[in-house]
Amino acid sequence: MVAGFQGIDAKGNITTLGRGGSDTTGVALAAALKADECQIYTDVDGVYTTDPRIVSEARRLEKICFEEMLEMASLGSKVLQIRAVEFASKYNVPLRVLSSFEDGAGTLIAKEDETVEKALISGIAFNRDEAKLTLLGVPDKPGVAYQILGHIADLNIEVDMIIQNIGADGSTDFTFTVHRNDYKKALEVLNNIATELGVREIQGDEHIAKISLVGVGMRSHAGIASTMFKALAHYGINIQMISTSEIKISVVVHEDFLELGVRALHGAFNLKEKPSQE
């Protein structure tokens, strides 16, 4: 038996590996032993298209690829810790999420070419712990973004989404998001450097949330973003910020519309139905 939550350092001192340490230890052992797969037993019976507590029709995924699971974990899904998935992907260790309380096939997390489901969207992740900061009338000149985010980085505050808009008057509006717990600290430092930066005004909003679509199918199919925006607009949900990558689209909305937005998107992409097999 191996205690996954604990370890020792180079001097023999007992250390705590932290949240997700047990999962990461299990994956590391599976990699070293060249196991066929690493089974993670937890309080859920697999990875779902979204949180079943918000969408009752959420469907358990039979399979999902490492890239999608990494995105889901980083965007708010609590099923697996990012470190464990990163390690599994690096050493190609298939993971299976299973319930500790009931029998079932769970969800297999493996390389993309080993997955069977060919959905455009595999899941919807969301994060309630977001806050937004906007600097209005920032001088449009080289180095300003560094000045702003450099001070934020000095406080060890992680920045998520960033948007910069160039105005006709030679100034720019600079908006970024941070974890809600870091909001007051970030706002304080921005207020302290506002004069130095020549900022006209600083605005903040602690009442936002992020909703993200995740799916490798985005690589080869157009129209995902337009379908997403249409579904949100149908329910009168205003999009404040947009961020995209190869396999994800994230939007920031007011926190009051989070659950409605997730349900709207789950329906728009028909995620309750199992995708056809190719």
Instruction: Tell the residue number behind the tokens 């712990």, with chain if given.
Output: 129
| pLDDT value, residue 278 | 45
Q: Do domains 6-117 and 209-268 have the same CATH topology?
A: no
Cα 35 from chain centroid (whole Å): 29
Report the predicted TM-score, pTM, of the whole model to 2 decimal places: 0.86
For domain 6-117, the CATH architecture is 3-Layer(aba) Sandwich (3.40)
Neighbours of 247 (CB within 10 A): 20
Distance CA 9, CA 32 (A): 19
Is the separation of the CB atoms in 111 and 63 below 8 Å? Answer: no
Topology of the domain comprising 127-207: VC0802-like (3.30.2130)
Q: How far apart are CA 22 and CA 237, in angstroms?
A: 39
217 CB-near residues (< 8 Å, 6+ apart): 118, 119, 120, 121, 122, 224
* Averaged pLDDT in 10-residue chunks for the chain of 278 residues: 73 74 85 92 90 93 92 82 89 92 91 65 93 91 88 93 81 92 95 87 94 90 92 97 93 97 96 73
Strand 63-65 versus strand 171-179 pairing type: unpaired
Q: What is the pLDDT of residue 37?
A: 93
- C-alpha to C-alpha distance for 99 and 103, rounded to whole angstroms: 7
Q: How many CA atoms lie within 13 A of 242 on its CB side?
A: 10
pLDDT for the residue numbered 205: 95
Q: Where do the domains of the chain lie?
A: 6-117, 127-207, 209-268
Q: What is the CATH number of domain 209-268?
A: 3.30.2130.10
The beta strand positions in the chain, using DSSP E, are 6-8, 14-16, 38-42, 63-65, 95-99, 107-110, 123-139, 159-166, 171-179, 201-214, 241-245, 248-254
